[in-house]
Amino acid sequence: MGTSKTASFSEKQNELAILFKALSHPARVAIIEYLLTVDTCICGDIVNELPLAQPTVSQHLKELKNAGIIKGNIEGTAICYCLNPETLKKFEEYFFAITKKLKEKCC
């Protein structure tokens, strides 16, 4: 595969691409949807909600956390995860700008 051309794009474009890549797996989308239904949870709760093994769920949580979409806090022997509102705001702003443009002009 060729070298990455990320330097050819803006910082914002690269940041959004990382966020979208982190959401590009259905298990990660399911994790986000689950976190929307609870205030916080431990990893075991998420494992019980998905048809995946615990190590697989942990890998998906790691990807979401590395992208900044979720935050995890250690509480005793468990890690409690929640959505990162700052990152979700970036999604909101991006899609709001697209929606606004679509309302202004349509092909």
Q: What is the phi/psi pair of residue 38, to 5°? A: -130, 160
Whether residue 46 lies inside any domain: the answer is yes
Q: What is the pLDDT of residues 38-60, one digit of tens each?
A: 877 787 889 999 999 999 999 99
Tell me, yes or no, whether 42 lies in a domain: yes
**Spatial separation of the C-alpha atoms in residues 107 and 94, rounded to whole Å:** 20
Single out the residue of 31, 72, 66 nearest to residue 52, CA to CA: 31
Structural domain includes residue 24: yes
Residues 6+ apart with CB under 8 A from 1: none
Q: In whole angstroms, how far apart are CA 73 and each of 1, 40, 106?
A: 37, 10, 45
3 within some domain: no
Task: State the residue range of the domain holding 83.
Answer: 10-104
Residue 2 is assigned to a structural domain of this protein = no
CA-nearest of 76, 52, 74, 72 to 62 is 72
**For the residues 22-30, what does the mean pLDDT come to?**
96
Question: How many structural domains is the chain composed of?
Answer: 1
- The reported pLDDT for the residue numbered 7 is 86
Segment 76-106, tens digit of pLDDT: 888 889 999 999 999 999 999 998 888 777 6
Domain of 84, CATH number, reads: 1.10.10.10
61 in a structural domain: yes
The answer for residues whose C-beta is within 8 angstroms of residue 57's C-beta and 6 or more apart is 27, 31, 43, 46, 47, 50
